[in-house]
Amino acid sequence: MKDKNKKDRYHKEKLELDGNGWKVDTGTEKLTVDFLFSIPPYVETKDESGSSHVGCRIPDYLARVLTSIKENNRSIYQILSDVVRDCLYVGIHVRLYQYGMEANSKLNVEMTKVLQAAQEYRGVCNRFQAFCDEAAFMMEHGETAKAVEHFSSIAIAMSNCDDPWLRGVYMKLVKDNRVTKELIEKSPKAIRDLFEE
Q: How many residues would you count in the chain?
A: 197
CA dist 104 and 121 (Å) reads 26
Backbone angles phi, psi at 32, to 5 degrees: -85, 155
- The string of pLDDT tens digits covering residues 142-160 is 999 999 999 998 888 888 8
DSSP string, 20-67: TEEE-SSSSS-EEHHHHHHSPP---S-BTTB---------HHHHHHHH
| pLDDT tens by residue, 129-146 | 999 999 999 999 999 999
Instruction: List, for residues 3-53, the tens digit of each pLDDT value.
Output: 545 444 434 443 443 444 444 444 445 556 676 667 666 666 666 666 677
Residue 183, Ramachandran bin (φ over 0: left; ψ between -120 and 50: alpha; else beta)? alpha
The pLDDT of residue 20 is: 40
CA–CA gap between residue 157 and residue 154 (Å, rounded)? 5
Share of the chain above pLDDT 70, in %: 63
Global pTM value: 0.43
